[in-house]
């Protein structure tokens, strides 16, 4: 399978599915009213760590990470609409959701920026 498909579609759908399953579990708990913020607090560091681990040994341009962020965000918006708004007929779009969409884009871009900077400093005297 092509690398970009795994990076953009595979990881994007995997992260979305993880959040979706966790949200279903929280929906039936006393924390349902705060589930979006709880998921952000739990899933954001996990997503950052997995994204860093996934891309850490690859030398990719920052524009690639922007494309990954765009793909993940489109996947999240479309699947949320299909499987939350339409299927579950939920009123869904609060501030936490917009923060989630922003982070979905910014996490791969931020990790890519960090990794690109680290690779650029290797070999520079006194750096990395």
Q: What angle do CA 92, 7, 22 make, to 5 degrees?
A: 35
Domain hosting 44: range is: 3-119
What is the distance between the alpha carbons of residues 36 and 26, in angstroms, rounded to a whole number?
9
Whether 70 is covered by a domain: the verdict is yes
Round the average pLDDT of the chain to a whole number and report it. 90
Average pLDDT over residues 33-54: 95
- pLDDT score at 28: 86
The pLDDT, as a whole number, for residue 117 is 83
Helix 62-80, helix 11-27: angle, nearest 10: 40
- The whole-number average pLDDT for the span 20-41 is 91
Query: For residue 127, is it within any domain?
Result: no
Q: Is residue 80 part of a domain?
A: yes
Residue partners of 49: CB distance under 8 A and separation at least 6: none
User: Is 34 contained in some domain?
Assistant: yes
Q: pTM to 2 decimals?
A: 0.86
**Percent of the chain surpassing pLDDT 70:** 91
What is the total count of domains within the chain?
1
């Amino acid at each position: 399978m092509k690398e970009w498909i795994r990076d953009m579609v595979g990881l994007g759908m995997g992260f979305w599915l993880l959040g979706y399953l966790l949200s279903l579990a929280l929906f039936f708990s006393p924390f349902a009213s705060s589930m979006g913020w709880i998921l952000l607090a739990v899933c954001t560091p996990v997503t950052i760590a997995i994204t860093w681990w996934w891309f850490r040994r690859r030398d990719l341009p920052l524009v690639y990470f922007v494309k990954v962020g765009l793909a993940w965000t489109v996947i999240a918006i479309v699947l949320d609409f299909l499987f939350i708004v339409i299927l579950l007929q939920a009123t869904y779009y609060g501030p936490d959701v917009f923060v989630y969409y922003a982070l979905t884009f910014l996490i791969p871009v931020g990790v890519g920026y960090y990794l690109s900077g680290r690779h650029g400093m290797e070999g520079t005297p006194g750096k990395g």
